[in-house]
Chains A and B, each alone.
Chain A
Amino acid sequence: MKIFEVWSGASQHTVKSAIKTTNKAFRPRGNTATFVQVLLAGAVAIAMAITGCTKKRFDANDNTLNIGIRANVKGLDPINANDMYSATVIAQIYEGLVEYNYLKRPFAVQPAMAEALPEISADGLTFTFKIKKGIKFHDNPAFPDGKGREVTANDFIYSWKRLADPRNTSEGWWILDGKIKGLNEWATAVKAEKADYDTPVEGLQAPDSHTLVVKLTGPYHQLMNVLTMPFAAAVPKEAVAKYGKEFLNNPVGSGPYMLKSDKDWVRNSKITLQKNPNYRPATYPTEGMPGDAEAGLLADAGKSLPFADKLVFTEIIEDQPRWQNGLKGNFDYFDIPKDNFDSTIKDGKLVPELQAKGIKLHIDPSLDVTYIGINMTDPMLGKNKALRQAMSMAFDRETQIKKFANGRGIPAQGPIPPGIAGYDDSYKNPHTQFSVEAAKAKLAEAGFPGGRSKDGKQLEFTYEGGSDSTARQQAEFFAQRMDAIGIKININANSWPQLQEKIKSKKAQLFGIAWGADYPDAQNFFQLFYSKNAPPGPNDSVFTNAEFDKLYERSLKLKDSAERTALYHQMRDIVANETPWIFISHRTGYRLTHGWLNNFKWTEVGYDYPKYWRVDAKKRAELGQKL
């Protein structure tokens, strides 16, 4: 799951300009420069003598998958898998009942620890899961003989109660909050010390050791999606009992990889996971999408998973060292930082120099939307639809995407990103088409010709954004666009908690933000406009529209179908017309892989992909020499 973020992402340092400055600074300028050079050369010579400069490259027998991540892993407890980097590592150690099919698009849920997809009662409220027999937790001293015991239905009941337990303050509780009969009541009773983990919950029953019956309070068609998330993974109560609050540092799951020793996790630096020798029987998918076979994605069809013997996650906060490590082959796949994009991609293709090294480019749409939220409780903005529409029309999305994302994205016409049912490629939102003239006319219609009210007062609003340099530049760009139609924008730069506070307390007038999908269903985006989700819920704009609410509530009762998609389109049209957001973009991910990495298909949801990736160690040893 992605936490929502300020559009820009992490701050970027402009390496090119920095290096240019450096070159200038070190250009020989008589004796001064010579002295610096002598000093540097001396220091380097000493350093080289200490370290030695030969470094062996790649071992042809080393079946390790190396992944670089841009943030530090906080902890390894599934109920706290609330940032995508911690979640990625957690998803290798823990598993749930279901997972996404690796190759199918749109994303389809398939059984993981469940034997099959659940039996669903006629009213859609009872889900019966059969759990595969013989799946074992990782060997760990938490178990009586140190050997991992079998996973049973009760482990899921225990794990989901743990998620619900208010004392655990899990950010993942929303996936089941109010959805399972009796679970909220149990949580309240636990808080009041009137219940414990042995107290039964009506909606979570285990008629036998390998059958789990889940009873819902109402229709919840996203249940299967949320059960793929690490929050819903099975944890053994023995391990929680043994390690207590330190369970987050002593993970015991049943996933394809395991943390063998505490020494394998160097905090804020590197996590090394070993293949779980007792992993359940799992195989690479035998069917894919058109084009997958040609792309070599079915070459390993039916083979046993996982492929790699070892997984190494290296945490590097800064873009440049992560990029350089990627180019050197120290990571098997890597992103392209904003500052290196122009020198890496020409005309949408990877530059020949990198192609010659066997590096491949993968372009995939991100399931997200970036936007400027408008506070609908604001007396001026909330009450004047034409004003909101004018602001949206005055915003130049193409330039924004080009300037701040190297063109990696498409202008957003509505909340649904491409790749999700309900996205319509041909749809054009009349209020996202950039035209200063049309925006000015709309502003006049709103009662503010030239951005001024009848008494001559200029329209003035405050924009709340992030504090890093890119976020500030984006804020300036927005202010410039609004200035073109006569609206003055004051900019506030905020830390993330400050921005959150302003939005959630409805103090922000306009705010730059983004939303990434938790699961591939447009409902995840439309919930952001549902009046009952007003702050602190996710409806940050406090959008309230009775017709939208009615349609949203109807859509919740429907499975993915033509009828539901039609409802989604109606909801999109209401949002487009009311303009509680100035839609900006759906981003596109550009990723690179080395020639030795097989089976790479990017997945925007689900974090279990490393088990499908296969490293050709011999090829790595060969190609690695060129890097």
Chain B
Amino acid sequence: MIGYAIRRILYMIPILFGVTILTFTLFNVFGGDPARRYAGKHATEEQVQVIRAELGLDRSLPAQYVYFVKQIATFDYGRSWASKQLISTMITDGIGATLSLTAPAFAASTIFCILLALFSVYGRGTFFDRGIVVTCLGLMSISSLVYILALQYLLAFRGGMFPISGWDPSWAGRWEYLTLPWIIMFVLSLGPNILIFRTVIMDEAFQDYARTARAKGLAEKHVYAKHILKNAMIPIITVVVIEMPVLISGSVLIENFFGIPGLGGTMIKALNDSDFPVIKAFTVMSAVVYMLFNLLSDLLYSAVDPRVKLG
């Protein structure tokens, strides 16, 4: 398995190469002219040229690309063009806030949804099961903006149960500000998660091994707990692990509405500002995280299912 992991990590290099080419090309085609953007409204042509040189945009495209690759190799992304802040600091500043918003809601939602999906399949065809499916579809058909606006208005502004928005960098203080965003993230994830997990578990519930277990006289709850759930874990792990990188990119809307200084907002600002150094850093970071989690999900298969042989 170690050999397999090493091989997969080596495969990441050409993929990352592709990502850099794509990012670089897209930025140069659609990014506008950052030098004019950062030279300001009163700039003369001479000043634009000075800014262009300072930003390194006066170099040839291949030279700029080589510089980009060098930055990836040295993990030194320099400073943001828009704010002149160190990108590494921007990431470390934002990642804690983003993870404390996304991780607890994700964990709670995953466990809750797997359990609910299990019960739903267990009672398939009943009123409870149908109710869950219909509710999930209902939940999914409402825009996330409606949940945010409505719950913030009703529970925080009108009800006064939570602060309307805000942030406390201390671990002890931030929970107060995070509770309502967690509830919203949790509610938002219910629909898609329950439906996916229910489908996955339903697939397993009628497999031969489940029938055999039942034929052996095993109680239904044991069939679910010991056999079906175990076998359903492979697709569930795939879904869960593939979703995990989203924990880092955060939720732009929730961050902006609740004043949470996370990475999602930082990325959107960088896109709006053509802040290429930040865009580069985030794109490469996201690509690496996605690939690592992909690898992790493959490795977990063999842990969950001994039949899966890697390599």
B262-274 interface bits toward A, Cβ cutoff 8 Å, 1 = contact, 0 = none: 0001100101111
The distance in angstroms between the C-alpha atoms of A48 and B176, with both chains bound, is 10
Tell yes or no: B307 within 8 A of A by CB. Answer: no
The distance in angstroms between the C-alpha atoms of A246 and B83, with both chains bound, is 12
Tell yes or no: B122 within 8 A of A by CB. Answer: no
Tell yes or no: B145 within 8 A of A by CB. Answer: yes
A536 in contact with B32 (CB, 8 Å): no
Those of B125-162 within 8 Å (CB) of chain A: 127, 131-132, 134-135, 138-139, 141-143, 145-147, 149-150, 152-153, 155-157, 160-162
A497 in contact with B259 (CB, 8 Å): no
The distance in angstroms between the C-alpha atoms of A167 and B90, with both chains bound, is 23
B164 in contact with A25 (CB, 8 Å): no
Task: From known contacts A18-B149, A504-B33, A504-B36, infer whether A48 and B161 are also in contact, taking CB-CB under 8 Å.
Answer: yes
- Which of under 10, 10 to 19, 20 to 34, or 35 or more describes the interface residues of A? 35 or more
Q: Which of B42, B43, B156 has the most CB of A within 10 A?
A: B42
Closest chain A residue to B39, Cβ basis: A536
Task: From known contacts A4-B41, A51-B176, A537-B43, infer whether A18 and B146 are also in contact, taking CB-CB under 8 Å.
Answer: yes
B83 in contact with A173 (CB, 8 Å): no
Tell yes or no: A335 within 8 A of B by CB. Answer: no
Task: From known contacts A21-B142, A74-B84, infer whether A245 and B79 are also in contact, taking CB-CB under 8 Å.
Answer: yes
Number of interface residues of B (CB under 8 A): 80
Interface segment, one of B64-72, B177-185, B236-244, B283-291: B177-185
The distance in angstroms between the C-alpha atoms of A75 and B80, with both chains bound, is 11
Closest chain A residue to B155, Cβ basis: A44
A13-42 interface bits toward B, Cβ cutoff 8 Å, 1 = contact, 0 = none: 101001101110110000110011001100
Partner of B138, one of A18, A19, A25, A72: A25
Complex contacts, B259 vs chain A, CB 8 Å: 269, 314-317, 321
| A315, chain B: closest CB distance, angstroms | 7
| A451, chain B: closest CB distance, angstroms | 32
Partner of B156, one of A31, A248, A263, A324: A324
A53 in contact with B150 (CB, 8 Å): no
Tell yes or no: B233 within 8 A of A by CB. Answer: no
Complex contacts, B142 vs chain A, CB 8 Å: 21-22, 25
Complex contacts, A80 vs chain B, CB 8 Å: 84
Closest chain A residue to B81, Cβ basis: A169
Tell yes or no: B99 within 8 A of A by CB. Answer: no
Interface segment, one of B48-56, B198-206, B294-302: B48-56
Tell yes or no: B192 within 8 A of A by CB. Answer: no
The dominant DSSP class at the A interface is helix
Q: Which of A15, A77, A269, A325 has the most CB of B within 10 A?
A: A269
B169 in contact with A501 (CB, 8 Å): no
Complex contacts, B266 vs chain A, CB 8 Å: 268
Tell yes or no: B256 within 8 A of A by CB. Answer: yes
Q: Which of A77, A314, A321 has the most CB of B within 10 A?
A: A321
Those of B53-94 within 8 Å (CB) of chain A: 54, 79, 82-86, 90, 93-94
Tell yes or no: A270 within 8 A of B by CB. Answer: yes
Tell yes or no: B190 within 8 A of A by CB. Answer: yes
Q: Which of A25, A44, A268, A494 has the most CB of B within 10 A?
A: A268
Partner of A50, one of B164, B179, B273: B179
Tell yes or no: A43 within 8 A of B by CB. Answer: yes
A171 in contact with B40 (CB, 8 Å): yes
Complex contacts, B272 vs chain A, CB 8 Å: 495-496
Tell yes or no: B251 within 8 A of A by CB. Answer: no
Total residue contacts A-B, CB cutoff 8 A: 208
Complex contacts, A324 vs chain B, CB 8 Å: 152-153, 156-157, 164
Partner of A500, one of B33, B127, B160, B265: B33
Tell yes or no: B44 within 8 A of A by CB. Answer: yes
Tell yes or no: A223 within 8 A of B by CB. Answer: no
B182 in contact with A47 (CB, 8 Å): yes
B90-133 interface bits toward A, Cβ cutoff 8 Å, 1 = contact, 0 = none: 10011000000000000000000000000000000001000110
Complex contacts, B169 vs chain A, CB 8 Å: 263, 266, 269
The distance in angstroms between the C-alpha atoms of A408 and B273, with both chains bound, is 28
Partner of B261, one of A25, A44, A191, A268: A268
Tell yes or no: B45 within 8 A of A by CB. Answer: yes
Closest chain A residue to B253, Cβ basis: A318
A32 in contact with B149 (CB, 8 Å): no
A82 in contact with B40 (CB, 8 Å): yes
Tell yes or no: B23 within 8 A of A by CB. Answer: no
The distance in angstroms between the C-alpha atoms of A538 and B180, with both chains bound, is 46
Partner of A501, one of B36, B47, B150, B166: B36
The distance in angstroms between the C-alpha atoms of A437 and B166, with both chains bound, is 54
A496-511 interface bits toward B, Cβ cutoff 8 Å, 1 = contact, 0 = none: 1111110011000000
Complex contacts, B186 vs chain A, CB 8 Å: 43
A22 in contact with B164 (CB, 8 Å): no
The distance in angstroms between the C-alpha atoms of A495 and B268, with both chains bound, is 12
A321 in contact with B40 (CB, 8 Å): no
Partner of A321, one of B37, B160, B258, B273: B258
Q: Can you name 26 A-B pairs with beta carbons within 8 Å?
A: A13-B145, A15-B153, A19-B153, A21-B142, A25-B142, A43-B183, A43-B186, A43-B187, A47-B161, A53-B161, A166-B50, A169-B51, A171-B43, A174-B40, A268-B261, A268-B265, A270-B167, A321-B164, A324-B156, A324-B157, A324-B164, A327-B157, A496-B273, A497-B34, A504-B33, A504-B36
Known contacts A43-B183, A173-B47, A321-B165; 13 additional CB pairs below 8 A are: A19-B150, A25-B138, A40-B183, A44-B161, A47-B179, A55-B160, A174-B43, A245-B86, A249-B85, A268-B94, A324-B156, A330-B164, A500-B33
Interface pairs A-B: 8 shortest CB-CB: A497-B32, A174-B42, A171-B40, A268-B261, A74-B83, A22-B150, A497-B274, A501-B32
